[in-house]
Amino acid sequence: MTKPVLIIGGGPAGLSAAHALASAGRKAVLVEKEAILGGAPILSGYAKLVPSHEWAKDAIGGMVNRVVSNPSVDVKVNSTVQAFTGTPGNFVATLKDGSTVEAETAILATGFTHFDPINKPEWGFGTYPDVVTTTMVEQMISSGKGVRCPSDGRVPDRVAILLCAGSRDRQIGREWCSKICCTVSANLAMEIREMSPKTNVYIYYMDIRTFGLYEGEYYWGSQENFKVKYVKARIAEVTSNGSRLLVKGEDTLVKRPISIPFDMVVHAVGMDPNVDNMTISAVFGVDLNRWGYIGKQTTYAHLAETSRPGVFTCGAASGPETIDDSIAQGHAAAMAAMNFAGMAVRAAAE
Amino acid sequence: MPIHEKSLIRPENLVTHDHLVIDGMDVSGHWSTFIEGRSITDYNENLQEEIAALPGGENIHRCWQCGSCTNACTVNAINPEFNPRYWIYLIRLGMEDELLRDKDIIWQCVSCNKCTYACPRDVAPEGVMKATAHWLELKGHTPKSPSTIFDEGFSAQVFQRGKIEDGLVLRNFLQDTGQPLRQPWLETMILGLIRRFPVFYLIRLGLSTVFRPKTRGWGRARAAINEYVHEVEATNRKALGLDAKGAE
């Protein structure tokens, strides 16, 4: 009798891997540190997802339901792995409650942590209540309360979205592009314009990376159908004139400094490596890459391999990733885990 | 501190006090030269909507500032200050003061439409230039351009009679633009015509100047056209927040 595959993390990637394994007739144990499954889209209360425009609670909720109701998947919430020993095919994981799980292989689907913009203090988060994050705007929309200034609850006349908050910034040690924020911001800008047509939305950017097919629907769509304005300027600082926020920077296209009043400023926060990655690295004996994400061994031969044989990774654990690609990588990691087990069996038979 | 590189600074941003004493120190004249801030401090969100409301400006909000229009531009090749990409940006963000600085260049568009075919987003920059020139006129920032004066005189005859009489078009244009009726090139042309044209043509031309040509049964068309023109003018003025008929 074969042992189950241990999956760490119950977000889109982990849920996808669990579903793929169960569909192939294999058993999986899914360990989630939070009390509920769903990962960032559920835990952070995302609104409508790119590119389907389904509400996160419906789209990811559906993924949760089909895993929870699957008898081949043993879900353990409020749980973490404290120790991980053994060899491929015979791993033993010790959980927080002291129980042990024997596993053939493991998949790390441990995701990311939202950038905390308190680390970019010149942009005013934590100083001014009306400086918020894309995650907070997602919550304003998904809660049904609408987009309002936290200071006094007014509907903003003018909103600035600052891209690359916690991305592409050597000053704060984050050299990566977080991949999703341009598209997410364009999507939010359209939702704000739709909910409140009198609110003007300005996006301050260095480059726009609404890659692939997102170009038309999100970048072009936000301009052509919703008159969202894009300004090529990296903001220097966000201050206040007493009644409104002042956004300062250089408008590079007119080569002039700007100091424009806004009612609300939104940081398009990037994807940091999971804050637990040092622990995960130590417990599972896997290397992290130079940016602090879980390192991948090869790019082309085996998409999901970490530095430790028999331990795989998928989704945003190994770098900024979209939800749909995380789901695809979850499948890929499940396939890699099954291949790995199959090879061990064949080697033993020869 | 005296400023030696004053040419780099816009004159209106240089402030000098003829008589100024600070803490007993006489800093009159150039010793008290100050530079005003050059920050852009607000956006006029109506500007884009106003230009978009005028014929030709409808698609301005699509622009993503690639510069294809300026790169393709016939006028830009001669005058680098003529930059449609830049003006579209100023309009989109509502930097009205900056736009007005270039009010005497914007109307120089020759409508070659090379930008129209270069634009990847179908902004139709030539239309935007037309709408912007129109906006400048309606708002009273620029006098009517010679080509507008010509178009108006030409159209007025068509509206009135369904036909034009070339001599009258020319005469009215010269009059309305303050030019003498006797132009050497015109005299040469007329003499040439008299010498070369068959007599029959010359008689028709002569009769036309007295009995102006008219399209038969034009009355209803004239009424309809005048009504339409009036309606469009009223809509344009309203979009710009102007009185039904005022500045003219």
pLDDT in tens, chain B (248 residues): 455 677 888 888 888 889 999 999 998 988 888 888 888 999 999 999 999 999 999 999 999 999 999 999 999 999 999 999 999 999 999 999 999 999 999 989 999 999 999 999 999 999 999 999 999 999 999 988 888 899 999 999 999 999 999 889 999 999 999 999 999 999 999 899 889 999 998 898 888 888 888 899 999 999 999 999 999 999 999 999 998 765 44
Would you identify the CATH topology of the domain B47-138?
Fumarate Reductase Iron-sulfur Protein; Chain B, domain 2 (1.10.1060)
Give yes or no for a contact between A302 and A336, defined as CB atoms under 8 angstroms apart. yes
How many angstroms separate the CA of residue A231 from the nearest CA in chain B?
8
Q: Is A90 helix (H, G, I), strand (E, B) or coil?
A: strand
Q: Compute the distance between CA of residue B242 and CA of residue B244 in angstroms, rounded to an integer.
A: 7
Residue B43 with chain A: CB contacts under 8 Å:
200, 202, 260
Q: Compute the distance between CA of residue B55 and CA of residue B52 in angstroms, rounded to an integer.
A: 8
Decide if B86 and A254 are in contact by the 8 Å CB cutoff: yes
**N- to C-terminal Cα separation, chain A:** 19
Query: pLDDT tens digits, residue range B135-183?
Result: 999 999 998 888 889 999 999 999 999 999 988 999 999 999 999 999 9
Looking at residue A262, its pLDDT comes to 98
- Per domain, the residue ranges of chain B are 1-39, 47-138, 146-239
Q: Compute the distance between CA of residue A234 and CA of residue A241 in angstroms, rounded to an integer.
A: 20
Looking at residue B132, its pLDDT comes to 96
* Among candidate residues A255, A274, A260, the one with its CA nearest the CA of residue A319: A274
Q: Which residue from A200, A219, A257 is facing B45, i.e. has the nearest CB?
A: A200
Looking at residue B4, its pLDDT comes to 67
Residues 203 through 222 of chain A touching chain B, CB cutoff 8 Å = 219-220
Task: Check CB contact of A261 with chain B, cutoff 8 Å.
Answer: yes
- Chain A residue closest to B95 (CA)? A254
Looking at residue B1, its pLDDT comes to 45
Looking at residue A301, its pLDDT comes to 75
**Which residue of A254, A255, A262, A263 to mutate against B (max B Cβ within 10 Å)?**
A254
Task: Check CB contact of B89 with chain A, cutoff 8 Å.
Answer: yes
Give yes or no for a contact between A335 and A16, defined as CB atoms under 8 angstroms apart. no
Give me the total of CB pairs closer than 8 Å, taking one residue from chain A and one from chain B.
Answer: 48
How many angstroms separate the CA of residue A225 from the nearest CA in chain B?
9
Looking at residue B248, its pLDDT comes to 44
Q: Which residue from B38, B43, B61 is facing A227, i.e. has the nearest CB?
A: B61
Looking at residue B244, its pLDDT comes to 72
Give yes or no for a contact between B60 and B92, defined as CB atoms under 8 angstroms apart. yes
Decide if B98 and A232 are in contact by the 8 Å CB cutoff: no
Task: Check CB contact of A259 with chain B, cutoff 8 Å.
Answer: yes
Q: Which residue from A202, A253, A257 is facing B39, i.e. has the nearest CB?
A: A257
Tokens of A12: 């889109």
Give, for all 350 residues of chain A, the pLDDT tens digit.
589 999 999 999 999 999 999 999 999 999 999 999 999 999 999 999 999 999 999 999 999 999 999 999 999 999 999 999 999 999 999 999 999 999 999 999 999 999 999 999 999 999 999 999 999 999 999 999 999 999 999 999 999 999 999 999 999 999 999 999 999 999 999 999 999 999 999 999 999 999 999 999 999 999 999 999 999 999 999 999 999 999 999 999 988 899 999 999 999 999 999 999 999 999 999 999 999 999 999 888 777 999 999 999 999 999 999 999 999 999 999 999 999 877 766 777 76
Q: Compute the distance between CA of residue A227 and CA of residue A193 in angstroms, rounded to an integer.
A: 8
Q: Compute the distance between CA of residue A299 and CA of residue A318 in angstroms, rounded to an integer.
A: 12
Looking at residue B209, its pLDDT comes to 85
ipTM over 0.90: no
**Which residue of A190, A201, A224 to mutate against B (max B Cβ within 10 Å)?**
A224
Task: Check CB contact of A223 with chain B, cutoff 8 Å.
Answer: yes
CA dihedral B104, B109, B110, B111 (to 10 degrees): -150
Residue B61 with chain A: CB contacts under 8 Å:
223-224, 227
CA dihedral A54, A59, A60, A62 (to 10 degrees): 160
pTM score, whole prediction: 0.87
Task: Give, in degrees to the nearest 5, the angle at Cα A28 between A24 and A30.
Answer: 135
- Chain B residue closest to A261 (CA)? B42
Where does residue B248 rank: exposed (0-12), middle (13-18), buried (19+ CB within 10 A)?
exposed
Q: For residue B26, what are the β-bridge partners?
A: B21
